[in-house]
């Protein structure tokens, strides 16, 4: 129940506004979190929003890329508590959270009272030793699994569906233990999505809870990750195509990664054995964002790509494609012209996988 309250109420509803909850469900989750964790909604939402805004930088409240995996995994709750005292964080990122009489005078002001009542209830219901053991599990579960495992391993170890700018990973495809939060890379790719699973083999049990609440009239989903739609290939890029490409940019990058791999496979057959062997050592780095590569690896990759002009061209054009949706100052007409130019140059290369990718890009709708 506590995990459901964290993932549904604190995370998806309050921090990201991915869904709306009926007052009955909202008040129940607030009460339960006060009783079992002592966490304050405004503090939790503000710290999490700052994590997204400053991810993997020195200002990130709990990045293992900054603090080290051991510190975040085992002591992540202390990083959370430290950030909760930062008034600037709460002021800048804590807007829109509950601010009624109950929140001001009970939930935010008397956090220890809820935990005390829960401890007493456990002892009265189950006896001193079992009740105290249950109470310890209740208060330790979220600090370890959420503050430690998700914030730690979720940015350090696992698999990635999407090439996001941060180091987020999906820990396992079956999000059962922590309410679906195990699918952390999916979440960073589509932060405002109420559903965290993206692939057919992934299970987000938190989404199951939300669908049950929705069926009961206690929740309303506002947004989920976009599902790519395709139309017949257009000869000329228009604004609709640009908007679809930007909205589905992580899907576009995943398809481009497959195109790069196909180009790589064709080049291995064409190159001399010595050159092919050198490129094999760098296969895993080809589909990574070059800005996240270690300096030495980036230099090595640039040198080895000189062995294949086709692969070097395809790799460089990925950088140009990413730059399209990072140009926030560009007008709509400029974006249309830039994407049209990119497609024309990609198809003029004659590199088969790149040509096929470009034609597919023209069909996003």
Q: Is the pLDDT at 215 greater than 90, yes or no?
A: yes
pLDDT score of 173 = 97
Q: Is the pLDDT at 280 greater than 90, yes or no?
A: no
pLDDT score of 274 = 81
The 10s digit of each residue's pLDDT in 11-29 is: 999 999 999 999 999 999 9
The 10s digit of each residue's pLDDT in 323-335 is: 988 877 889 899 9
> How far apart, in Å, are the Cα atoms of 364 and each of 92, 223, 228, 256, 305?
37, 20, 7, 14, 30
pLDDT score of 273 = 84
Q: What is the mean pLDDT of residues 198-208?
A: 97
Joined together, the tokens standing for residue 233 give 């290939």
Rg value, the chain, Cα:
24
Helix spans in the chain (H) = 2-4, 23-36, 41-53, 64-67, 69-84, 87-93, 101-102, 111-126, 128-142, 151-152, 184-189, 205-215, 239-247, 249-270, 273-280, 283-286, 295-304, 309-326, 332-348, 352-361
pLDDT score of 294 = 76
Q: What is the mean pLDDT of residues 115-124?
A: 96
Q: In the chain, how long is the greatest CA-to-CA distance?
A: 77
pLDDT score of 275 = 79
Kindly report which listed range (88-97, 260-269, 285-294, 347-356) carries the lowest average pLDDT score. 285-294
Q: What is the mean pLDDT of residues 37-46?
A: 96
pLDDT score of 278 = 76
CB 191 within 8 A of CB 226: no
Q: Is the pLDDT at 190 greater than 90, yes or no?
A: yes
Q: Is the pLDDT at 292 greater than 80, yes or no?
A: no
The count of residues in the chain is 365
Q: How far apart are CA 331 and CA 337, in angstroms?
A: 10
The 10s digit of each residue's pLDDT in 226-255 is: 999 999 988 889 999 999 999 999 999 999
* β pairing state of 19-21 and 219-221: antiparallel
The 10s digit of each residue's pLDDT in 332-358 is: 899 999 999 999 999 999 999 999 999
pLDDT band, residue 44 (cuts 50/70/90): very high
pLDDT score of 82 = 95
The 10s digit of each residue's pLDDT in 73-119 is: 999 999 999 999 999 999 999 999 999 999 999 999 999 999 999 99
pLDDT score of 256 = 94
Percent pLDDT > 90 in the chain is: 82
pLDDT score of 124 = 97
Kindly report which listed range (64-68, 202-206, 288-292, 304-308) carries the lowest average pLDDT score. 288-292
Whole-number mean pLDDT of the chain? 93
Q: Which residues of 221-246 are buried (b: 16+ CB within 10 A; e: fewer)?
A: bebbbeebeeeeebeebeeebbebbe
Q: Is the pLDDT at 42 greater than 90, yes or no?
A: yes
pLDDT score of 8 = 98
Q: Is the pLDDT at 281 greater than 80, yes or no?
A: no
Count Cα neighbours of 54 within 13 Å in the Cβ-side half-sphere.
Answer: 17
């Amino acid at each position: 129940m506590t995990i459901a309250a964290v993932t549904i109420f604190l995370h998806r509803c309050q921090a990201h506004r991915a869904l709306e909850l009926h007052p009955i469900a909202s008040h129940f989750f607030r009460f339960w979190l006060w009783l079992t964790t002592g966490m304050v909604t405004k503090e939790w939402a503000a710290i999490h929003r700052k994590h997204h805004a400053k991810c993997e930088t020195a200002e990130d409240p709990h990045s293992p890329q900054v603090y080290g995996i051991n510190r975040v995994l085992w002591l992540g709750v202390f990083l959370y508590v430290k950030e909760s005292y930062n008034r600037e964080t709460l002021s800048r990122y804590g807007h829109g959270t509950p601010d009624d009489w109950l929140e001001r005078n009970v939930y935010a002001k008397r956090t220890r009272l809820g935990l005390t009542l829960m401890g007493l209830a456990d002892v009265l219901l189950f006896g001193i030793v079992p009740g105290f053991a249950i109470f310890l599990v209740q208060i330790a579960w979220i600090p370890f699994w959420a503050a430690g495992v998700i914030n730690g391993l979720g940015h350090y170890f696992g698999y990635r569906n999407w090439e996001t700018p941060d180091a987020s990973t999906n820990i396992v495809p079956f999000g059962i233990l922590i309410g679906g939060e195990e699918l952390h890379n999916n979440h960073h790719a589509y932060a405002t999505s109420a559903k965290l699973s993206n692939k057919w083999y992934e299970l987000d049990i938190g989404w199951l809870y939300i669908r049950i609440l929705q069926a009961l009239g206690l929740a309303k989903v506002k947004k989920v990750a976009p599902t790519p739609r395709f139309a017949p290939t257009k000869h000329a890029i228009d604004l609709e195509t640009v908007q679809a490409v930007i909205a589905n940019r992580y899907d576009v990058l995943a398809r481009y990664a497959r195109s790069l791999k196909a180009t790589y496979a064709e080049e291995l057959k064409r190159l001399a054995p010595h050159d092919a062997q050198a490129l094999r050592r760098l296969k895993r780095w080809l589909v990574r964002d070059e800005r996240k590569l270690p300096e030495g690896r980036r230099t090595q990759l640039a040198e080895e790509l000189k062995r294949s002009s086709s692969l070097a061209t395809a790799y460089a054009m990925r950088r140009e494609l990413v730059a399209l949706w990072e140009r926030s100052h560009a007008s709509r007409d400029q974006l249309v012209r830039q994407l049209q130019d990119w497609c024309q140059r990609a198809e003029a290369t004659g590199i088969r996988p790149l040509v096929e990718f470009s034609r597919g890009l023209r069909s996003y709708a």
